[in-house]
Structure 1
Amino acid sequence: MSPWWNEYAGDIIWVGVGLTVLIAYQIALAWCVRRNPRCTIQSVNRQARTLWVQHIMEEPSLRILAVQTLRNSTMAATFFASTAVILVIGVLNLSSEADKLAESWHTLNGIGSHHPGLRAAKFMVLLADFLVAFFSFAMSVRLYNHVGFQISLPPSSRPPGVSPEHVAKHLNRAGAFYSVGMRSYYLAVPLVFWLFGPHLMAVASLVLVAALYFIDRIAPDAAED
């Protein structure tokens, strides 16, 4: 075997296992939604948001409720976007101290590489993950603001492009970006464990998929109604 493989085999195998588990779960989730559009909480929320927009725009008296609901969603997305920026700064600061912490981090890393270049790559992946979270939540805030203006227009003042279907599409896009941001936060868990060893990353991925299964799924009786 080549020296390159001996150095990185542990990380390639175990990180590959972790990524395979995470990707397989997302494929299974997409397949479930394809079979039954109401088998996950995300798909049910998409339908609920569409119906909610139609109901709000048909009842002018509910505009205050709509603005309050969108304000709560905007505040939540803003909080997570701000947290992502703080985490990005934290990762950058931590990477500058990596050489001092490397010995303690590798205490449990018996099968992974200790090469400084790989350690830098780990920080880059973690940094990219938090940047994706920031971008997703920022886009979610942007779309929530657009929906706030569009949904409160009286029927007589709406331009042709502002229909319940159009507004619901914007709201569902905001929800999709919010979901991507949360998924990025979840993904940070196995990435952090990767700093301590690739086998820990694989175990964390399995635990994360088990947790996501209970977070994403809908009760069978509710999904079949």
Structure 2
Amino acid sequence: MSLRFSGLVAFALALVSGPVRAEEGHHHPVVWVGLHLEQDLAFASGTDVCTKDSQLNEGFACFRSSGSQYHGTPRVGVRDNVDSGLLVATTRMLLSGDYALSDSVTLGARAGYVLRGGGPTPDGGKPFIPYHLEGRASLWLLGQSYGDAGIQPFLFAGGGLAQVDGSLEVVVAEDANAPPPPNQPDNPPTQTLDVYKKAGSGFAKVGVGAYTAIGEHHGAVLELGAMQLFPSSGTAIALSLGYVLGV
């Protein structure tokens, strides 16, 4: 009975004291903070992307060299296409905080701001959301979250608030048989437009990452994530490099 009671006491003390490693006879931090630079790559494809329908319903927004949104009538099936592939999209800086529930599980949050890549506001549309808010959980595959020895791989899943804008140029040919819009009578026969594929403002995210210690209780983190954005639908890849510190 005394052995069983002693075991229960030891288990309770372990829960109260939180995750502690006995490596080298000292406590391992359970709170980690960091700074990360993230580059988004957006999947995009479409035909006749600068038509009125595509700009209203498909998440595309097309802008002329003057910076005004394009409201002309492009010839259907003539150029004006986005081939399937990845577009260089938004770049963001993120602050992170993570708490170790155990050696193999951490809960965390990310908050940040887009540094570049956000598109102009479409006429009558919503402005770009530059803020990033994210909650996540991570599973450390070797059972050593932010361990001081070797490379520590992990899986993560989360979600939150973010907008991803990918951009490229397309050429449109104006339909000479369609009357020009009253507020834009000067569209030339052909012109190059800046096209933005807008996705967000909510997202779900899964990915893989790895931490490598540079010194005691601090090191570099590399992550590769896949994002599904909504209600304006889109898919993106997020590649980030950061530095974290145990406190």
If the length of structure 2 is used for normalisation, what is the TM-score?
0.25
Larger CA Rg, structure 1 vs 2 = 2
The structure, 1 or 2, with the larger RCO (C-alpha pairs under 8 Å, 6+ apart) is 1
Higher helix share: 1
Higher strand share: 2
If the length of structure 1 is used for normalisation, what is the TM-score?
0.27
